[in-house]
């Protein structure tokens, strides 16, 4: 079970943010990484498997190769990934009124590299890395505190998990890459879509003032 003992929360709202495609650009730098090793990511559907192809032949790589490429990318993430537009300033402003925690689905073995990357860009908020479902983690984090809770993620599965385990949470669907965002499934009731961190800030501010 993920160790949360080092997380200290004040008696104020909590904002939990996913990392890839939310706080850090992922699809654009991942595409650039793929092209550097003779492959490409085609925006044909909202998934990676089947959409990564060999540039020379146009043939999709095997799913196992997709996993290997992701593993290599995460090892080298500090050479490729950069913050999403406006995220640094937006989180700095929100941090004046709320605690902020990063929750990434990236394998925990890459946490140190990610921590250094985030710190380099002034994103010093606590980082949790787990491949477990996010709903139970956020339920444990928030516990029974009577303060607003916000969760921001690009993947519907994660948002639905939090919706189940923390039903009072404000859920925001954000994806940095506009091309793939256009292909994303509709999040459905109870989840607010945002196109940018400017949108996110306005949604959260309105929620906190209710």
State how far the Cα of 177 lies from the Cα of 170, in Å rounded to an integer.
Answer: 22
With cut-offs at 50, 70 and 90, classify the pLDDT of residue 197. very high
Give 155: exposed, middle or buried? Use CB within 10 Å, 0-12, 13-18, 19+.
buried
CB-CB neighbours of 82 under 10 Å: 13
Short-list 128, 66, 68, CA closest to 100? 128
Domain ranges of the chain: 14-25+82-209, 27-79
The pLDDT score that the predictor gives to residue 144 is: 82
With cut-offs at 50, 70 and 90, classify the pLDDT of residue 85. very high
With cut-offs at 50, 70 and 90, classify the pLDDT of residue 196. very high
CA dihedral 197, 115, 14, 164 (to 10 degrees): 90
Query: In terms of CATH architecture, what is 14-25+82-209?
Result: 3-Layer(aba) Sandwich (3.40)
Mean pLDDT of the chain: 95
Give 131: exposed, middle or buried? Use CB within 10 Å, 0-12, 13-18, 19+.
exposed
pTM of the full structure: 0.96
* Mean pLDDT of the region 113-122: 98
Sorted by sequence, the CB contacts under 8 Å of residue 60 that are 6+ apart come out as 50, 51, 52, 53, 54
- pLDDT for 20-39, tens place per residue? 999 999 999 999 999 999 99
User: Does residue 209 carry a pLDDT above 80?
Assistant: no
């Amino acid at each position: 079970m993920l160790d949360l003992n080092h997380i200290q929360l004040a008696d104020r709202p909590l904002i939990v943010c996913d990392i890839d495609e939310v706080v850090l650009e992922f699809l654009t730098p991942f595409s650039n990484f793929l092209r550097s090793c003779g492959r490409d990511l085609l925006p044909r559907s909202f998934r990676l498997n089947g959409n990564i192809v060999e540039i020379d032949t146009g043939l999709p790589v095997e799913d196992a190769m997709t996993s290997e490429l992701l593993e290599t990318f995460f090892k080298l993430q500090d050479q490729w990934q950069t913050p999403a537009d406006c995220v640094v300033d937006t989180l700095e402003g929100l941090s004046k009124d709320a605690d902020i925690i990063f929750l990434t689905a990236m394998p925990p073995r890459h946490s140190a590299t990610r921590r250094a990357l985030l710190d380099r860009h002034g994103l010093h908020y606590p980082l949790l890395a787990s491949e477990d479902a996010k709903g139970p983690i956020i339920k444990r984090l928030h516990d029974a505190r009577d303060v607003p809770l916000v969760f921001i993620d690009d993947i519907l599965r994660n948002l639905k998990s939090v919706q189940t385990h923390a039903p009072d949470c404000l859920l925001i669907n954000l994806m940095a890459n506009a091309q793939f965002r256009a292909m994303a499934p509709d999040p459905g009731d109870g989840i607010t879509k945002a196109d940018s961190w400017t949108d996110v800030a306005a949604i959260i501010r309105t929620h906190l003032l209710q």
